[in-house]
Homo-oligomer: A and B are copies of this chain.
């Protein structure tokens, strides 16, 4: 197994502060150095820049294929939800739908001062909210579309923007507007719904581990942490390098909560009308924040090859202008060959200095760098460097074997990233025996997840006090412990 990248010899890092010095600031600076996103002028919102958006496009491409294999169909439902729809499901409002953007007018006009303003004459008879999630409006469609048992299961998904007003926004992790997919499935029986909610969580686990190379702990949420209206919330929890947890995707068994409030009924084979059972499941641009905090190092981002905007950076190193045309032509040939093998690649044709080209690719976390200079061409050997191995991992590869060696390096890197992150995850979870252990751990300002008997936590006033005092949360009851244990950690 490969070791994580070491800092370069002179101990200068591309990102300051380092992870150890100040993790939250390091995070912001990695995003900036990799040119992935920035805060929008609109409070709480972000602009996803091309390099960051390309990661989201890759997430969409692969995950969309996986959900279609589950016979889920994509569709599109309205952005605006009438207030009366939200008001239908009391528990849903309480826990959820309060901090949201409210649309009250449908026209602008000039007011008496000659300033542009909401036209008072255009006030809506019923205000609308921008969807924070779409259970209520998709429930209305399910009510219309589901008539008989033959219409079930009904599995729908939409890729869209949603909005939840955030007072303490952080790029990717918590933004007022974010992008996500929301799946909404309906079934004839309780058993099918629960099986589906667990199945979709397994699809998330598979995707997050095998594409994002982020290992997760899969389990159930405690009743207090469930999605409002759900009878079970299943979750995959990842752990960042600072020891905090990040909920990476959730899948909810909604029981008949929304079937009741939206009146989703079907005529069963036995001739009687029955209420359906529904699930919902979502994953958002927040996973990109997790990707950064799991894989990044003090030199910047490290992209897992399967979702990297480009997997290879070809770096033409031009020492003598006379060689330039020749080197660029050679790079073009290599680029073409790699693309023909389905390897995504970008050549840095700028006039930047060689070291600047190298550092730009490092900060962006391009999985493999390929240095091409006059000497390399003369020798017929290119220098290949894996981002996660750093200088120690440099290898010379004969030109003819270049594509095959790169493909192998990408595959190995994908595996190594996951294996290293899994090793770290294991070291981040500590088994403890008592609430005193929990208190001592967080009082000592240690960071990480604790695992203990759920019976010690459930209904405990002492635990409630610890939660409050140290801002820790119950992350999940891991499946592997059959609901007997609970993971406690600070979280994003």
Chain A residues close to B by CB (< 8 Å): 40-42, 45-50, 53-54, 56-57, 73-83, 85-87, 93, 97-109, 115-118, 122, 127-130, 137, 140-141, 156, 160-161, 163, 165, 177, 179
CA distance A77 to B80 in the complex (A): 19
Residues of B contacting A42 in the complex (Cβ-Cβ under 8 angstroms): 78, 80-82, 128, 137
Shortest distance from the beta carbon of A458 to any chain B beta carbon, whole Å: 32
17 contacts between A and B (CB under 8 A): A41-B140, A42-B128, A46-B78, A50-B156, A53-B75, A54-B73, A54-B74, A79-B163, A80-B177, A93-B108, A98-B109, A99-B106, A102-B104, A102-B105, A104-B104, A107-B165, A130-B130
Closest B residue, CB atoms, query A72: B50
* CB pair A47 B74 closer than 8 Å: no
Selected contact of A108 from candidates B49, B56, B98, B179, CB within 8 Å: B98
* CB pair A103 B106 closer than 8 Å: no
Shortest distance from the beta carbon of A46 to any chain B beta carbon, whole Å: 8
| A93-B116, A102-B104, A130-B103 known; A78 vs B165 contact (CB < 8 Å) | no
Closest B residue, CB atoms, query A140: B41
Shortest distance from the beta carbon of A171 to any chain B beta carbon, whole Å: 12
CA distance A97 to B137 in the complex (A): 27
Residues of B contacting A137 in the complex (Cβ-Cβ under 8 angstroms): 40-42
* CB pair B163 A161 closer than 8 Å: no
CA distance A118 to B161 in the complex (A): 21
CA distance A85 to B116 in the complex (A): 11
Residues of B contacting A79 in the complex (Cβ-Cβ under 8 angstroms): 45, 130, 161, 163, 177
Residues of B contacting A102 in the complex (Cβ-Cβ under 8 angstroms): 103-108, 118, 122
Shortest distance from the beta carbon of A35 to any chain B beta carbon, whole Å: 10
Selected contact of A107 from candidates B48, B53, B73, B98, CB within 8 Å: B98
Closest B residue, CB atoms, query A110: B93
CA distance A99 to B105 in the complex (A): 9
Residues of B contacting A46 in the complex (Cβ-Cβ under 8 angstroms): 78
Shortest distance from the beta carbon of A249 to any chain B beta carbon, whole Å: 20
CA distance A40 to B141 in the complex (A): 9
Other than the known A40-B78, A104-B104, what 19 A-B pairs have Cβ atoms closer than 8 Å? A45-B80, A47-B141, A48-B76, A49-B75, A50-B156, A53-B73, A53-B76, A57-B74, A76-B179, A79-B163, A79-B177, A86-B108, A97-B108, A100-B106, A102-B105, A102-B107, A104-B118, A117-B127, A161-B161
Closest B residue, CB atoms, query A74: B53
Residues of B contacting A48 in the complex (Cβ-Cβ under 8 angstroms): 75-76
Residues of B contacting A45 in the complex (Cβ-Cβ under 8 angstroms): 78-80
Closest B residue, CB atoms, query A165: B106
